[in-house]
Amino acid sequence: MSVRRQQALSRRNLLKFGAGALGSGAIAVGLGAKSQAKEPAVAKPAAAKPKIDKTDPTPDQALKLLMDGNKRFATRKMENPRQDWARVQEVAKGQKPFAAVLSCADSRIPSEIVFDQGFGDLFVCRVAGNVATPEEIGSLEFGAAVLGTKLIMVIGHQRCGAVEATIKGAQVPGQIGSLIDAIKPALSRSKKFTGDPLAKVVKANVSLQVDNLKASPVLSDLIASGKLKVVGAYYDLDAGTITLV
């Protein structure tokens, strides 16, 4: 092979090698550029919302505490808070319930259980038909004005016997009739509500008793100043759920 041909081959090999090296370098540079690129920022988890202080909630916070507790009860995720012996001893020295409940005396609606609350959390008045008699109103006035409850919830319930007796115009003995008389005005306002005929009157009765409470000068002053809220609710015996009326 001539010297000139050997030199030509050498130049071609060198060019091939150079092109290969250049390509490899370009790949390396590309990889390096990728490795140096900033990774996308990972979103930080949202901070947990602070728990509401039961000793001094707002009226809206007190309502949330009750509704959250009922949700735990209805979904079988109860926390059973403030039910130990230490809490018993704590509230023996004094009470400061954050909410009050005017509920039917029906044995299937124990307030502390259906709202997943503990000793000293609720100020509870119970009477058949959840009617706001003078005695019940006085008790709830005491709870709000003296003990500082921020919420009063009037609770009627599915298949209420007192309301059913009122609808049927049942003749009843003793003082039972006083309960029916207190429920009767609800019959005329039941058309505004939904559900079966009995449920509609139960809800109308809740609305009636809420209005009776709001007519109290003691409670109305607290409502006007933003220190108290009065709401009505309906309890579903089958589902264990509370819905606002």
pLDDT tens, 153-172?
A: 999 999 999 999 999 999 99
Q: Please choose, from the candidates 114, 208, 205, 210, the residue with its C-alpha nearest in 3D space to the C-alpha of residue 161.
A: 205
Q: What is the pLDDT of residue 86?
A: 96
- Cβ(115)–Cβ(167) below 8 Å: no
The reply to whether 65 and 132 lie within a common domain is: yes
Q: What is the mean pLDDT of residues 68-77?
A: 98
The tens digit of pLDDT for each residue in 211-233 reads: 999 999 999 999 999 999 999 99
Task: Tell me, yes or no, whether 163 lies in a domain.
Answer: yes
For residue 125, the cross-strand partners are: 102
Confidence grade of residue 101 (pLDDT, cut at 50, 70, 90): very high
Q: What is the pLDDT of residue 45?
A: 62
DSSP string, 133-177: -HHHHHHHHHHHHTS---EEEEEEETT-HHHHHHHHT----TTHH
The reply to whether 202 and 229 lie within a common domain is: yes
The reply to whether 105 and 214 lie within a common domain is: yes
- Cβ(82)–Cβ(117) below 8 Å: yes
Question: To the nearest whole number, what is the mean pLDDT of the chain?
Answer: 88
Q: Measure the CA–CA gap between 60 and 229, rounded to whole angstroms.
A: 8
Task: Tell me, yes or no, whether 46 lies in a domain.
Answer: no
Which amino acid appears at position 158 of this protein? Q
Task: Tell me, yes or no, whether 126 lies in a domain.
Answer: yes
The reply to whether 158 and 108 lie within a common domain is: yes
Task: Tell me, yes or no, whether 184 lies in a domain.
Answer: yes
Task: Tell me, yes or no, whether 49 lies in a domain.
Answer: no
The reply to whether 81 and 12 lie within a common domain is: no
The reply to whether 200 and 116 lie within a common domain is: yes
The reply to whether 10 and 67 lie within a common domain is: no
The reply to whether 94 and 193 lie within a common domain is: yes
Task: Tell me, yes or no, whether 51 lies in a domain.
Answer: no
Instruction: Give how far Cα 108 sits from Cα of 12, 158, 184, 188, Å.
Output: 97, 11, 23, 27
Q: Please choose, from the candidates 116, 125, 135, 35, the residue with its C-alpha nearest in 3D space to the C-alpha of residue 77.
A: 116
The reply to whether 134 and 180 lie within a common domain is: yes
The reply to whether 14 and 108 lie within a common domain is: no
Tally the domains of the chain.
2
The reply to whether 24 and 63 lie within a common domain is: no
Q: What is the CATH number of the domain that holds 116?
A: 3.40.1050.10
Task: Tell me, yes or no, whether 179 lies in a domain.
Answer: yes
Range of the structural domain that residue 186 is part of:
59-244
Task: Tell me, yes or no, whether 50 lies in a domain.
Answer: no
pTM value? 0.80
Q: What is the pLDDT of residue 53?
A: 85
Q: What is the pLDDT of residue 55?
A: 87
The reply to whether 81 and 199 lie within a common domain is: yes
